[in-house]
């Protein structure tokens, strides 16, 4: 039962074939069985889950209008605030943090009576591509427990792939939804910047962060996006525009769709098996009547250095709030205020977070601002212009989500630059604020490969339609890991 999708379970709930409490119990049974191996969750919220499940069953019995996620177990990445429930960002500095409020998306899901299973593991403050930077433990890829699940939303992707939840929320700053979805063989959608409220999402890089769905198929991604999208007065970067019903985009047609295959992401540094899978996916689109042509994005080679200036710069500013004054860890070595700051941050932050604070502080410091930070902001303009040019010719763009399948735990842990370079296909999308989805499109050495579909700003509908049509013509999304 817990291996079904939200839309399948919704039908069973409506037909009274199953109750939300039964689904919830099945999910927690799976968690008990596999969590020792997978380690997807930082905290479980079974009590709250069962409370919502009972409420949901009551609502269903009363025969009211039942929203699609009512009574459906969902996992939440542990960088989204949940009122009164421990929220850590997988950081020691927030080990005992109990948010006084709910993130807007958490509140929205609670109002629908979705069932929160728990808070999932991530790279500390979402800085990383493997969950190896978590302050607590590394999550394992359910397809091969010796490999990483990707990151930073590795806990959410692994929980979804291991059927330890029905669907999940992740956040994506440079690929943190799409890359783990790719590594774990599930669907991950990063919406257009500003479509989903960031209120209550603990900030990493505010101009890049966006919350989105991690699900077992494209239909569930559309349903979850319906539930979380929309203007929020509490987020000043939230965009006030009408939100369509994304379920209407689930049309099985790619006829005459103009698709650009990004040639810069099909060359050096991309695994042969990955390239082959993406080329095969392009043929699938052509068989549906789509027109696929190659497109070159010459500024992409500058995307990684651009990102690794802008994101740490914003992070170094955002993370200044962790100073031991109002919440979180405070060092016992605090003879005066300045040493309280030094020691609190020294003890509370892990190695990657410190590295990024250092990079960010450096590129914003006097004498280096113009050469690094301002230069990166200009490069960001050029990357955005490459996309604008491409979307004059194409409806959507496709590429691999990641240069390879999931790598081994420990393989890149001591080489931050090599880890950063593996974000090459996802980072440009965040810099331009665009929507993109990753969905399973093949396997290499028993590990899933992800196809990335990128849309123009606020073109989630076209992006979802292309993804849905592809999914209808393949059965990669039906493959499940054996645990």
Partner 1 sequence: MKIDVEHIARLARLGLTEQEKKLYGDQLSRILGHAEELNKLKTDNVAPTTHAIPMKNVFREDKAIPCEDTEAILRNAPAEESNMFLVPRIIE
As annotated, the active-site residues are: 77, 152, 176
* By CB under 8 A, residue 483 contacts partner 1: no
Whole-number minimum distance, CB 50 to partner 1, in Å? 23
Whole-number minimum distance, CB 264 to partner 1, in Å? 15
Q: Which stretch, 19-27, 28-36, 151-159, 342-350, contacts partner 1 (CB under 8 A)?
A: 342-350
Using an 8 Å Cβ cutoff, are 418 and 362 in contact?
Answer: no
Give the whole-angstrom CA distance, residue 72 versus residue 167: 8
Q: Which stretch, 14-22, 161-169, 301-309, 466-474, contacts partner 1 (CB under 8 A)?
A: 301-309
Q: Which stretch, 22-30, 64-72, 187-195, 249-257, contacts partner 1 (CB under 8 A)?
A: 187-195
* By CB under 8 A, residue 239 contacts partner 1: yes
* By CB under 8 A, residue 184 contacts partner 1: no
Residue with tokens 């996006």: 225
Q: Which stretch, 30-38, 53-61, 192-200, 261-269, contacts partner 1 (CB under 8 A)?
A: 192-200
Mapping DSSP to helix (H, G, I), strand (E, B) and coil, where does residue 251 land? coil
Using an 8 Å Cβ cutoff, are 410 and 154 in contact?
Answer: no
Site for partner 1 in 435-464 (CB under 8 A): 457
Choose which of 17, 84, 294, 408 interacts with partner 1 (CB under 8 A).
84
Closer to partner 1 at the Cβ: 204 or 372? 372
Whole-number minimum distance, CB 17 to partner 1, in Å? 40
Choose which of 7, 107, 190, 329 interacts with partner 1 (CB under 8 A).
329
Whole-number minimum distance, CB 93 to partner 1, in Å? 11
* By CB under 8 A, residue 336 contacts partner 1: yes
Give the whole-angstrom CA distance, residue 26 versus residue 133: 31
DSSP assignment, residue 135?
A: S
* Residue 204 CB-half CA count within 13 A: 30
Helices (H), 116-270: 154-161, 178-184, 218-228
Site for partner 1 in 218-237 (CB under 8 A): 233, 236-237
CA distances from 187 to 112, 258, 439 (A): 22, 22, 5
Mapping DSSP to helix (H, G, I), strand (E, B) and coil, where does residue 369 land? helix
Q: Which of 176, 248, 177, 213 minimizes the C-alpha distance to 462?
A: 248
Paired sense of beta strands 436-444 and 447-455, if any: antiparallel
Site for partner 1 in 94-123 (CB under 8 A): 96-98, 100-101
Choose which of 72, 221, 363, 441 interacts with partner 1 (CB under 8 A).
363
Q: Is 305 exposed, middle or buried (0-12, 13-18, 19+ CB in 10 A)?
A: middle
Site for partner 1 in 399-428 (CB under 8 A): 416-417, 420
Total interface residues for partner 1 by CB under 8 A: 74
Using an 8 Å Cβ cutoff, are 214 and 80 in contact?
Answer: no
Residue with tokens 């410190």: 354
Closer to partner 1 at the Cβ: 53 or 459? 459
Choose which of 361, 444, 472, 474 interacts with partner 1 (CB under 8 A).
361
Q: Which stretch, 21-29, 282-290, 376-384, 395-403, contacts partner 1 (CB under 8 A)?
A: 376-384
Mapping DSSP to helix (H, G, I), strand (E, B) and coil, where does residue 33 land? helix
Closer to partner 1 at the Cβ: 145 or 334? 334
Choose which of 29, 248, 289, 374 interacts with partner 1 (CB under 8 A).
374
Choose which of 309, 409, 424, 427 interacts with partner 1 (CB under 8 A).
309
Choose which of 327, 369, 443, 462 interacts with partner 1 (CB under 8 A).
327
Whole-number minimum distance, CB 43 to partner 1, in Å? 16
* By CB under 8 A, residue 248 contacts partner 1: no
Q: Is 223 exposed, middle or buried (0-12, 13-18, 19+ CB in 10 A)?
A: buried
* By CB under 8 A, residue 380 contacts partner 1: yes
The answer for residues whose C-beta is within 8 angstroms of residue 179's C-beta and 6 or more apart is 129, 150, 151, 401, 402, 422, 423, 426, 438, 450
Q: Which of 394, 302, 319, 406 minimizes the C-alpha distance to 355?
A: 319
Closer to partner 1 at the Cβ: 168 or 432? 432
φ/ψ of 452, rounded to 5, equals: -100, 130
Q: Which stretch, 153-161, 173-181, 379-387, 443-451, contacts partner 1 (CB under 8 A)?
A: 379-387
């Amino acid at each position: 039962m817990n291996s079904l999708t939200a839309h399948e379970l919704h039908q069973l709930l409506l037909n009274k074939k199953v109750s939300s409490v039964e689904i919830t119990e099945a999910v927690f049974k799976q968690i008990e069985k596999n969590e020792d191996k997978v380690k997807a969750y930082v905290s479980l919220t079974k009590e709250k889950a069962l409370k919502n499940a009972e409420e949901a069953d009551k609502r269903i019995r009363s025969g009211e209008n039942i929203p699609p996620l009512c009574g459906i177990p969902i996992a939440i990445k542990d960088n989204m605030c949940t009122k009164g429930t421990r929220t850590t960002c997988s950081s020691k500095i927030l080990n005992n943090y109990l948010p006084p409020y709910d993130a807007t998306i958490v509140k929205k899901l609670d109002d629908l009576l979705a069932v929160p299973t728990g808070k999932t593991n991530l790279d500390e403050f979402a800085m990383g591509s493997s969950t190896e930077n978590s302050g607590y433990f590394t999550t394992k890829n359910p397809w091969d427990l010796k490999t990483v699940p990707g990151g930073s939303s590795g806990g959410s992707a692994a929980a979804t792939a291991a059927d330890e939840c029905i669907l999940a929320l992740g956040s994506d700053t440079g690929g943190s939804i799409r890359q783990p979805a790719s590594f774990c063989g599930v669907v991950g959608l990063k919406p257009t910047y500003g479509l989903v409220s960031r209120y209550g999402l603990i900030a990493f890089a505010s101009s890049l962060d966006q919350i989105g769905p991690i699900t077992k198929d494209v239909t569930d991604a559309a349903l979850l996006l319906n539930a979380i999208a929309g203007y929020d007065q509490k987020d000043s970067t939230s965009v006030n525009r009408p939100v369509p019903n994304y379920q209407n985009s689930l049309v099985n047609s790619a006829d005459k769709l103009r698709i650009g295959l990004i040639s810069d992401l099909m060359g050096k540094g991309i695994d042969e098996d990955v390239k082959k899978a993406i080329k095969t996916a392009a043929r699938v689109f052509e068989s549906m009547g789509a027109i696929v042509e190659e497109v070159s994005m010459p500024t992409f080679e500058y995307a990684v250095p651009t990102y690794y200036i802008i994101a740490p710069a914003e992070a170094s500013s955002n993370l200044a709030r962790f100073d031991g004054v109002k919440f979180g860890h405070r060092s016992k070595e605090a003879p005066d205020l300045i040493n309280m700051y030094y020691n609190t941050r020294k003890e509370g932050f892990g190695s990657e977070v410190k590295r990024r604070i250092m990079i960010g502080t450096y590129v914003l410091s006097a004498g280096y601002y113009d050469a690094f930070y301002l230069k990166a902001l200009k490069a960001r303009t050029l990357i955005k212009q490459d996309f604008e040019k491409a979307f004059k010719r194409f409806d959507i763009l496709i590429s691999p989500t990641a240069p390879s399948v999931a790598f081994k735990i420990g393989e890149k842990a001591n080489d931050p630059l090599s880890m950063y370079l593996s974000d090459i296909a996802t980072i440009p999308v965040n810099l331009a604020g665009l929507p993109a989805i990753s969905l399973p499109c093949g396997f290499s050495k028993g590990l899933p490969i992800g196809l990335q579909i990128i849309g123009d700003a606020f073109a989630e509908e076209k992006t979802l339609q292309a993804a849905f049509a592809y999914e209808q013509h393949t059965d990669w999304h039906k493959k499940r890991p054996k645990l």
